[in-house]
Amino acid sequence: MLPTDGFLGSEFEARVERAQTLMAAEKLDGLLLTFGDNIRYFTGVDADLGASLARPWFVVVPASGAPIAIVPSLAEGLMRKTWIQHIRSWPSPRPEDEGTTLVVDALASLPRRFGRVASEFGLETRIGLPLSQLNEIIKSLSGVELVDGASLIWSLRMIKSDAEVAKIQRATDIAAAVFAQVPHFVHLGDSERMIHQRFRIKLLEEGASGVGLTCRAGPGGPSVVTAGSVSDRRIADGDLLYLDTGVTHDHYFCDYDRNYQVGRASDALLFAHERVWEAHEAGLRAAVPGKTAGNIFEEMAKVLSSGRRDLNSNGRMGHGLGLRVTEPPSVKVGDNTVLRPGMVLCIEPALEYEPGKIVLHEETVVVMDEGARLITPRTPRELPQII
């Protein structure tokens, strides 16, 4: 067992093999990876100190053969503990050549069949180095063109192995254990800040590593469901309390929310809750191989409001999940990604049933041959209460 999130070397070998199959189809000589998630996907580690921008990392996956990691001296020891055999490093920081020469050399040494190497340029990707450094690399390459590899990368990462699904399940179980305790440690009159703090402490107690949490409440529902500063507002009778957590376990995310009625709930809120719950049923039924991500949205939109398609400012009702808390595809009209076994999706119907009152439910599923299997415990049909 490698010290890389508890995966076996065979997990990474399988990923490289799948990548190489796709590279052959897309006429590529290799992949150049610079962004943390993608480096982790192939090696099991990344800069992690995502927080520091001083020292870029690189991985080159050739069209055949083993990957090459090019990392700052600081990270060499860590990389040597992984399954990666080919490791090159430079004394970093060294702004005048922060790995540039090593990367250019590695790309120039790839067996040249097509003269094309793909990198992280397109949809829902980022480059993990300064743009000016990337431009230097591009300028120094001769006979090798860097092209967009986003669709290849997401084709790979969208399909999770059983080992990856198990990580997401574990992260979800950690969060579920804390959600189950909410009615015991949250009470009418507590501030959002107090709830936020207690919830995150319990996540750590349950063994989470990352402890992202959004905590929002408002009369009849929160008015926004996005992250942002926690407030000192105290939850009051008639509120809907919304808790949405992105716990990580071995760098894989869970992402799901729960709603709690604080004291009494209006009929309008209970009706909206029921409507969203039913829309969810329709969405879960639609998450089967062969349908598209957009189909899930359409089925839920039908239930939510007879076909209205702009139901909340999120612009979508779900997304992929894995090493990122949101990954492609988007559960929205126009996303024609065909669902395939191994995809892990967060499905989140939402309704702003009155201006500034949002009800949003989120569940995670893995697409299986026979349909969606829930990873989250299904939200109770009856809204749980906090007193």
Smallest separation (angstroms) from a copy of itself to the CB of 225 = 9
Grouping H, G, I as helix, E, B as strand and the rest as coil, residue 11 is helix
Does 122 help bind a copy of itself (rule: CB under 8 A)? Answer: yes
How many Cα atoms within 13 Å fall on the side-chain side of residue 215? 24
Tell me the window of 14-22, 115-123, 342-350, 375-383 that interacts with a copy of itself (CB under 8 A). 115-123
Q: Pick the closer one to a copy of itself by CB: 20 or 330.
A: 330
Residue 22 has, within 13 A of its CA and on its CB side, a CA count of 19
DSSP per residue, 208-233: -S-EEEEEEEEETS-S--S--PPP-P
The four Cα atoms 280, 286, 291, 295 give a dihedral, to 10 degrees, of -40
Q: What angle do CA 211, 214, 217 make, to 5 degrees?
A: 145
- Range 198-237, binding a copy of itself (CB under 8 A): 200-201, 204-205, 207, 209, 211-212, 223-224, 226-231
Task: Tell me how far, at minimum, the Cβ of 90 lies from a copy of itself, in Å.
Answer: 9
**Distance in Å, CB of 53 to a copy of itself, minimum:** 5
Q: Is 316 in the site for a copy of itself (CB under 8 A)?
A: yes
Site string for a copy of itself, 63-82 (x = CB under 8 A): ---------xxxxxxx----
Q: Got the DSSP string for 331-361?
A: -STT--PBP-TTBEEEE--EEEEETTEEEE-
Residue 341 sits in the site that holds a copy of itself (CB under 8 A): no
Tokens of 268: 């309008």
Which of 160, 324, 357, 361 touches a copy of itself by CB under 8 A? 324
Least CB distance to a copy of itself at residue 138 (A): 11
- Report if residue 354 touches a copy of itself, rule: CB under 8 A: no
Tokens matching residue 107 = 């790309």
The angle subtended at Cα 292 by Cα 290 and Cα 297, nearest 5°, is 140
- Summarize as ranges the residues that interact with a copy of itself (CB under 8 A): 3-5, 45, 48-49, 51-54, 72-78, 91-95, 120-132, 134, 148, 150, 197, 200-201, 204-205, 207, 209, 211-212, 223-224, 226-231, 246, 250, 253, 310, 313-316, 319, 324-326, 330, 332
